[in-house]
A = this chain, B = another copy of it.
Amino acid sequence: MILLVSPKDVNEAIETIKGGADIVDVKNPPEGSLGANFPWIIKEIREITPKNLFVSAAIGDVPYKPGTVALAALGAAMSGADYIKVGLYGTKSYNEAVDLMEKVVKAVKGVDENKIVVAAGYADAHRVGAVEPLIVPKIARDAGCDVAMLDTAVKDGKTLFDHLNEKILAEFVEETHSYGLKCALAGSIKKEEIPILKDINCDIVGVRGAACTKGDRNNGTIKSELVKELSKLCK
């Protein structure tokens, strides 16, 4: 299982890299759970990140606007992101989500076949009217994405496991693998929960709070030792 960490600035990004994370994730929390950061920030993070590590960029808790979102996905790819993560927020059904993700895939792969497109659903989608998380693997498969991901939409202390139980998550991973795709799981994941994700064969785990001092995503800051610990747990 590889480790994705979401720093909030360059200093945290440096700690993330020193700690041995596999993917440095760029997002913009004030703009939503999968809020997009600005092109110059993605570029800056890409520049300080070693070539052998990946940079991922969230492009937003996006509305059902395939044109705008495809342009944003291209913008993120041109800014240097290796993984393009799309939060399926305003899409309300399988059809809408496949339509949107197909356009994103075409926009991104059109400039670089090797870029990785991530379809990200929300474990608590029913709280915001977003598309059902359990069908994200089918959406990712049918739109030509590389990764099916889950995160939480509302950051109120509830974690991925509060919304979906372990058995259902294991099925999620298994179904994703059966389609030849990778699976990423996030959502206020705690250190103690990492072994569970490893057990169910998750490919990528996403964290922020667990890598922060006091385990606090808002008031803590990412430290390389904490990242190192998490990284070890993933191996």
Contact = CB atoms under 8 A, between A and B. Distances in A.
A107 interface: yes
B107 A68 contact: no
Contacts of A40: 106-107, 110
Contacts of A72: 68-69, 71-72, 75
A107 B76 CA distance: 11
Nearest to A92: B126
Contact of A129 (B76, B103, B129, B168): B129
Interface residues of A, number: 49
A110 B66 contact: no
Interface of A: 28, 31-32, 35-40, 59-63, 65-76, 78-79, 92-96, 103, 106-107, 110, 125-126, 129, 131-132, 134-135, 138, 163-164, 168, 171
